[in-house]
Structure 1
Amino acid sequence: MNYKFILFLVFFSILSVAASQAQDIEFGFGAGVANYTGDISPSYKLQNARPAGEIFVRYNPSPAFSLRFGAMIGVIKADETKSDDPFSQRRLAQFVGTVYEASARMEYNFRDYRAMSELNRLSPYVFFGGSVAHIAVNSNYFDNQPNALEIALPIGVGLKYMLAHNYNLGFEFGARPTFTDAIDGMLQDDTIDNVSNVGKFQMTNLFTKDMYYYTGISLSFTINRVVCPTEFR
Structure 2
Amino acid sequence: MTLRIFTQGLLICAILQIGSLFFTPSAAGQSRVTTSELGFGIGGANYKGELSPNYRFLNNQPAITLFYRRDISSPITAKGGIMLSHRIVDDNTFSDEAYDLPLHNWRQTEARISLAELSLVGEYNFLDYYDLSQKIRISPYFFGGVAGLIYNIKVNTDNPDLEPTLDKPYETNVAVSIPFGVGVKYALSKHWNLGLEFGARKLIMDRLENVFEIDGKRVANPYDNDWYYYNGISLSYTIYRVNCPPPYKNKPGILD
Per the TM superposition, whether the score is higher than 0.5 is yes
Q: Say whether residues 1:102 and 2:102 are aligned partners.
A: no
CA contact (8 A) 1:114 1:162 kept: no
**Structure with greater Cα Rg:** 2
Question: What is the aligned partner in structure 2 of residue 169 from structure 1?
Answer: 194
Deviation at 1:148, TM superposition (A): 3.2
CA contact (8 A) 1:107 1:125 kept: yes
Question: What is the aligned partner in structure 2 of residue 87 from structure 1?
Answer: 103
Q: Distance in 1 between matches of 2:195 and 2:220?
A: 37
Question: What is the aligned partner in structure 1 of residue 174 from structure 2?
Answer: 149
1:62-73 residue pairs with structure 2 within 5 A?
Answer: 62-73=73-84
Q: Distance in 1 between matches of 2:112 and 2:48?
A: 13
CA contact (8 A) 1:49 1:77 kept: no
The letter of the residue matching 1:45 is: R
- Say which SS state the counterpart of residue 229 (structure 2) adopts: strand
Q: Say whether residues 1:39 and 2:50 are aligned partners.
A: yes
Question: What is the aligned partner in structure 2 of residue 112 from structure 1?
Answer: 128
Deviations 1:179-228 (A, max 9, x none): 12121121335xx12xx4xxxxx4211111111111111011011345xx
1:119-134 residue pairs with structure 2 within 5 A?
Answer: 119=136, 121-134=137-150
Deviation at 1:89, TM superposition (A): 1.8
Q: Say whether residues 1:224 and 2:254 are aligned partners.
A: no
The letter of the residue matching 1:124 is: P
CA contact (8 A) 1:24 1:61 kept: no
Q: Say whether residues 1:204 and 2:220 are aligned partners.
A: yes
Q: Distance in 2 between matches of 1:50 and 1:150?
A: 20
Which residue among 49, 61, 67 is the counterpart of 2:60? 49
- Say which SS state the counterpart of residue 206 (structure 2) adopts: coil
Deviations 1:126-150 (A, max 9, x none): 0000010101111115368877321
- Say which SS state the counterpart of residue 24 (structure 1) adopts: strand
CA contact (8 A) 2:152 2:172 kept: no
Quote the sequence identity (%): 36
Q: Distance in 2 between matches of 1:104 and 1:64?
A: 17
TM-score between the two structures when normalised by the length of structure 1: 0.77
Q: Distance in 2 between matches of 1:75 and 1:132?
A: 16
Q: Distance in 2 between matches of 1:63 and 1:167?
A: 19
Residues paired across the two proteins, number: 196
Higher deviation after alignment, 165-174 or 86-95: 86-95
Q: Distance in 2 between matches of 1:30 and 1:65?
A: 21
The letter of the residue matching 2:78 is: L
Gaps of 5+ in 2: 1-32, 94-98, 158-165, 243-256
Aligned alpha-carbon RMSD (Å): 2.2
The letter of the residue matching 1:170 is: G
The letter of the residue matching 1:222 is: T
Gaps of 5+ in 1: 1-21, 197-201, 227-233
